[in-house]
Amino acid sequence: MALTDTGIRALKPRKTRYVVTDERGLCLEVLPTGKLSWLYRYRLKGRAEKVVIARYPDLSLKAARNERDTLAGLVSRGQSPAREKRLAKLAVASNSTMGEFAERYYREVVLRNRKDPRNLRRYLDNEILPALGKKVLSEVTATDVQSLVFRKRDSGQETAAAQMRNLIKRIFDYALVCGAAQINPALALPLRFITKARARTRALSPSEIRTYLHTLYSSNIRRQFKLALHLVLLTLVRKSEMLLAQWKDVDLDAGEWQIPAQNSKTGQPHIVYLSEQAIVLFRGLKVLAGESPWVMPGRNSLAKPFSHNAMNQAMGSITLAINPFTIHDLRRTGSTLLHEKGFPSDVIEKALNHTIPGVRGVYNRAEYSDQRRKMLQFWGDYVEGLATEKKILMGNFGNGAA
């Protein structure tokens, strides 16, 4: 029975999608959301095929019938409307510029999967798109990628160069899936030519901690970074948790820092118990933050925190007379030395905001609040005692540049 506009308007969504037919293969699909789509069903060389025409009411009943007649003409000539539509999509996709498709990747992949995409956004805006954004995807070559990445590498920023290469690779991986590209030019640039893999076993010795703190406070980096890098060592938090901290979550009177679920790698809220030394450092940051809600407000705005890479850059500008290490290695340092001092592994793992694996983790819901508070105060005292000049660690913090 032929459809009418009145009949179409009377259609109601159901729990599952269903189809109502018009004439000569034209159908209207009704989705559980209430959206309506025109379909054309036909047989070609003995095979049943279908093609989506458009949404209703974007395309009226009369216009849908006209489009059905056009598609039926293709079928009569042995052509597949479904295949023609796929080829048309590929033709459009293949003409996408790097800039256009990178924005699609950012919108459809990055924003869905990343808690904090700011670092990737900066690489796109400041590095990748200015260099490659106007090129059609098929015109981006391995040489283009190499030139961009090697320039970053040769400026001494190996980690950033590797991250840029990986972002370009992921964009082209998605382009291959979407039919917008035929090759991935980033695959011609292996990571081993950009940066050396570093063992994830680095932990500072007590003497190296002393050297680190003395060098940190005598350096020329901003005072905020001196205090924050010291705090990471005392609290054993992740760099991102430090950068995203807000004053509303820090209770210096109670000696507690609440890390909300959205800032936690585990996706669960976490309490950091603050030692006396950590409270002193937070008070120093409070003076520097002024009226900002952020513990680490950015250089140009009190309304935003520092960028994801800011602490790495600050750390990288310090010349240390010890073997290289990363900010994350400070957490491993605390874990290693606290284990050596005999503290229980579960208490240390909870302080690090790690998820305990296996069946033990499922059944062990203990928070170890009292043990963690005592352990972190021990750790604060221990780190303070490693310095030969107490004024560097408590209150005064030397006269290094702010």
Of 43, 329, 308, the closest CA to residue 198 belongs to: 329
pLDDT score at 357: 59
Mean pLDDT estimate for the chain: 86
With respect to CATH, is domain 5-79 assigned 3.30.160.390?
A: yes
Q: For 334-349, how does the pLDDT look when each residue is reduced to its tens digit (9 = 90+)?
A: 999 999 999 999 899 9
Report the distance separating Cα 125 and Cα 284, nearest Å.
34
Residue 273, SS3 per DSSP? strand
Joined tokens for residue 104: 């699609």
Angle, nearest 10°, between helix axes 158-177 and 142-154? Answer: 160
Report the distance separating Cα 356 and Cα 316, nearest Å.
32
Report the distance separating Cα 87 and Cα 93, nearest Å.
10
**Domain made up of 206-393: CATH architecture:** Orthogonal Bundle (1.10)
Looking at the DSSP assignment, which residues form a beta bridge with residue 55?
37
Domain ranges of the chain: 5-79, 98-193, 206-393
Query: In this structure, are residues 67 and 33 in contact, taking their beta carbons and an 8 Å threshold?
Result: no
The CATH T-level fold of domain 98-193 is DNA polymerase; domain 1 (1.10.150)
Would the pLDDT of 361 be above 80? no
Query: In this structure, are residues 262 and 360 in contact, taking their beta carbons and an 8 Å threshold?
Result: no
Angle at 33 between CA 27 and CA 36, to 5 degrees: 25
Joined tokens for residue 221: 């980096």
Residue 35, SS3 per DSSP? coil
Cα-trace Rg, the chain: 30
Confidence class for position 359, pLDDT limits 50, 70, 90: very low
Neighbouring residues of 256: CB distance < 8 A, sequence distance ≥ 6:
250, 271, 272, 273, 274
Residue 267, SS3 per DSSP? coil
Residue 342: left if φ>0, alpha if ψ -120 to 50, beta else—which one? left
Would the pLDDT of 56 be above 80? yes
Q: For 7, what's the count of Cα atoms within 13 Å in the CB-facing half-sphere?
A: 9
Residue with tokens 């007649």: 69
Query: In this structure, are residues 82 and 50 in contact, taking their beta carbons and an 8 Å threshold?
Result: yes
Q: 45-80: buried (b, 16+ CB within 10 Å) or exposed (e) per residue? A: eeeeeebebeebeebebeebbebbeebeebbeeeeb
Query: In this structure, are residues 42 and 50 in contact, taking their beta carbons and an 8 Å threshold?
Result: yes
Residue with tokens 């009418």: 4
CB atoms under 10 Å from CB of 207, counted, come to: 10
* End-to-end Cα distance, the chain: 80
Indicate whether this model's pTM tops 0.85.
no
Would the pLDDT of 322 be above 90? no
Report the distance separating Cα 305 and Cα 117, nearest Å.
14
DSSP per position, 342-365: T--HHHHHHHTTPPPPHHHHHH--
Selection from 141-145, 308-312, 363-367, 392-396 with the highest mean pLDDT: 141-145
Q: 287-311: buried (b, 16+ CB within 10 Å) or exposed (e) per residue? A: eebeebebbbbbeeeeeebbbbbbb
pLDDT score at 390: 47
Confidence class for position 401, pLDDT limits 50, 70, 90: very low
pLDDT score at 294: 95
Of 115, 369, 60, the closest CA to residue 264 belongs to: 115
Q: Decide whether 5-79 matches 98-193 in CATH topology.
A: no
pLDDT score at 366: 67
Report the distance separating Cα 303 and Cα 28, nearest Å.
50
Would the pLDDT of 363 be above 50? no
Question: Quick one: how many helices (H) and strands (E) in the chain?
Answer: 19, 7
